[in-house]
Amino acid sequence: MKLLITHARIASEDSPALTEADLLVEDGRITRIGTGLEAPEGARTIDARGRIAMPGMFDAHVHFREPGFENKECIASGCAAAINGGVTGVVMMPNTRPAIDSPQIVAQVLESARRASPVRVLTAGCVTKGREGRELAAIDGMRALGVRMLTDDGDTTADAALLLHAMQYAGEFGMFFASHCEEPSLAGPRALNDGPTSYRLGIRGTPACAEEIIIDRDIRLARAAGAHLHIQHVSTRMGVETLRWWKQRGDVRVTAEAAPHHLLFTEDNIGDFDTAYKMNPPLRTRSDNEALIEGLIDGTIDLIATDHAPHTAFEKSLDFASAPNGVTGLETALVSLHDAFVSKQVFGWDLLVKRYSAEPRRLMCLAPARVAEGEPADFLLFDPSRDTTFDRGFMRSRSANTPFLGRTLRGSVDLVVLGNEVLLERDDA
């Protein structure tokens, strides 16, 4: 494939400035960047005037539900949703059925991913067998197949002694641990934050300290083991402050992520039992949102990850306490973050590229994608002036449990190029 992109404005993690240039893609690689480039014979030309070229996003926390829950999502539909949102790489969580806790299941999942899509799909492995918290999973066998992240995501590994042993064992292999932080005895029904909304709706809430206690516990365990710990979906102000304190100490390697929904929404959005806003950790307060944004900007929070969690319409139609936790996010993340933050100059494209493209790849020991000469083609074109309406005709996920369903936001992912393929091109762009 030969493709010439003209008049693009290039975004990178290294500079807040956008540089206008032409890009020439040949045989899956960016061969030239400059101004006034001429299209070689057989090349297709796309005028990108007004649009931004940036690296493909990478989501280090998604639930593709395969094996076991393919009615909600499968790897193929999850990858289609990723492409639709400008995401060219993902890390699957292991809370499937059966759980991804052995080399046999890892091999099955990776083979399904290879056949399903050109998107790069990695998988995490469980810390414990079946995510039951009683016995270590087949960690070395999973490592041999390329698994680097270990997590019992969906639940905390409650047994601190077992988790410490796992950290001491697997840390020597270069693996790291991703913690879903939630003290079970305090978690309640996991429906919503313990606060004014839970009192008004008459549903027992989950206090912020349920998350914060485990954040601190697991960092202390990682420090004792000399392991790398990654904190998933941080949602509270004190959680951010705890991370900042530990990072300033400098004697433990800890990274963290925030999900777009915890940046954008609060418990007030739940209204009268709207299950589209039911997730775990629950939505918190505006003060918590502000702390998360501050943490993203100053580096306390290393990356953005959606925690893409598909559920069927029937499941989400249940009463608020019974409906499952989770929202989809792959298709809405980039546009919603642009609409809420970049377009309002809360932060720039450089920060968004760093947090949602470069740092997630670094977490998985991958080289960041770059829009630069000699680099593999892995980029998207984004139009900040066009709108996107998130209706069922737009969505590619099998599930549409998102607060954005039916809403129109400013910004559009118009083109996605990966290697020698154009994976997405909007017909009306």
pTM of structure: 0.98
Rounded to whole angstroms, the Cα distance separating 126 from 132 reads 10
Q: Report pLDDT digits (tens) over 73-111.
A: 999 999 999 999 999 999 999 999 999 999 999 999 999
210-219 core/surface letters (b: 16 or more CB in 10 A; e: else): bbbbbbbbbb
Q: What pairing do the DSSP bridges indicate for beta strands 2-12 and 52-55? A: parallel
Q: Using one digit for the tens of pLDDT, what is the confidence trace for 319-338?
A: 999 999 999 999 999 999 99
Question: Cα–Cα distance between 166 and 179 in angstroms, integer?
Answer: 13
Q: Any idea where the domains of the chain sit in the sequence?
A: 2-53+373-425, 57-363
Residue 429: is its pLDDT beyond 90?
no
Gap between the Cα atoms of 329 and 308, Å rounded:
5
Domain spanning 2-53+373-425: CATH 1.10.150.80: no
Segment 195-199 shows an average pLDDT of: 94
Which of these, 139, 156, 136, lies nearest to 148 by C-alpha position?
Answer: 139
pLDDT at 190: 74
Cα–Cα distance measured from residue 397 to residue 75, given in angstroms and rounded to the nearest whole number? 10
What does the pLDDT average to over 379-405?
Answer: 98
Which tokens sit at 421? 């393929």
Active site amino acids: 307
Q: Check residue 12 and give its pLDDT.
A: 98
Look up the CATH superfamily of 57-363: Metal-dependent hydrolases (3.20.20.140)
Q: What is the DSSP letter of 389?
A: E
Say if residues 307 and 326 touch (Cβ distance below 8 Å): yes
Q: Which residue has the tokens 């931004």?
A: 52
* The pLDDT of residue 188 is above 90: no
How far is it, in rounded angstroms, from Cα 79 to Cα 83?
A: 6
Which residues lie closer than 8 Å to 416 by C-beta, 6 or more apart?
A: 56, 83, 86, 88, 379, 380, 422, 423, 424, 425
pLDDT digits (tens, 9 = 90+) for 289-315: 999 999 999 999 999 999 999 999 999
- Whether the pLDDT of residue 189 is over 90: the answer is no
404 near 337, Cβ under 8 Å?
no
Residue 165 pLDDT > 90, yes or no?
Answer: yes
Q: What is the average pLDDT across 191-197?
A: 92
- Of the chain, the percentage scoring pLDDT greater than 70 comes to 100
Q: How high does pLDDT run on average in the chain?
A: 97
What is the tens place of the pLDDT at every residue in 36-56? 999 999 999 999 999 999 999
